[in-house]
Amino acid sequence: MRKFAIFTLVALLGLWMTGTAIAGDKEECVAKCEAAAKVMKDDLTGALCEINKKDGKFVKGSVYVFAMRGGVMVAHPMKPALIGRDLSALKDKDGKEFFKEFVTVAKDKGSGWVDYQWPKPGEKDPSPKSSYILKVDDNFYVGAGYYK
């Protein structure tokens, strides 16, 4: 009985820590997007250069900001090969056109969350991810996500 109680306590503590980490990642996504959008409004070129840095101020752990103009990636610190590509027709493993949804969220709502599948940095297989999308102006938006 004592082993069961200890196991249950450890399991509950693990669930609590996971929930706390996810809440922290969500808050980090929003904060990084808001900071990047502010810099983009003041200095677009400088902001895009900073977003492209793997060790820049818009990267923290697995949370990083990317920037887009419509369906075209304009800055991405983890996958620079995406820069300049129109990704609007790209689908995740479930067939979801999530880049189109990014554009819709930015234009229609100004900000919001989009769930999709995307590989973690350094991996090939996609994992569940949720990204916060924030409209910068009529042309640009930024996003940052966390893996679930």
- The CATH number of the domain where 12 resides is what? 3.30.450.20
**The token pair that represents 16 in the structure block:** 């609590």
The angle that helices 2-42 and 44-51 make with each other, rounded to 10 degrees, is 150
Domain of residue 137 covers 2-147
Alpha-carbon torsion 59, 63, 65, 68, what sign? positive
Q: Has residue 128 got a pLDDT over 60? A: yes
Mean pLDDT of 8-29: 53
Per the CB < 8 A criterion, the answer to whether 60 and 28 are in contact is yes
The DSSP code for 31 is H
Give the pLDDT confidence score for residue 2 in this predicted structure: 59
Specify the number of domains making up the chain: 1
The DSSP code for 86 is B
H helices within the chain, ranges in order? 2-42, 44-51, 98-108
Per the CB < 8 A criterion, the answer to whether 117 and 94 are in contact is yes
Give the pLDDT confidence score for residue 122 in this predicted structure: 85
Q: What are the b/e assignments for 123-135, b being 16+ CB within 10 Å? A: eeeeeebbbbbbb
Which one-letter amino acid corresponds to residue 38?
Answer: K
Residue 1: band (very low, low, confident or very high) from pLDDT cuts 50, 70, 90:
low
User: By C-alpha distance, which of 146, 124, 127 is closest to 65?
Assistant: 146
User: By C-alpha distance, which of 52, 14, 39 is closest to 6?
Assistant: 14
Is 0.85 topped by the overall pTM? Answer: no
**The token pair that represents 134 in the structure block:** 């924030």
Per the CB < 8 A criterion, the answer to whether 88 and 55 are in contact is no
Distance CA 36, CA 140 (A): 11
Residue 133: band (very low, low, confident or very high) from pLDDT cuts 50, 70, 90:
very high
Give the pLDDT confidence score for residue 7 in this predicted structure: 42
Structure confidence by residue, pLDDT tens digits, 95-122: 999 999 999 999 999 999 999 999 987 8
Give the pLDDT confidence score for residue 3 in this predicted structure: 55
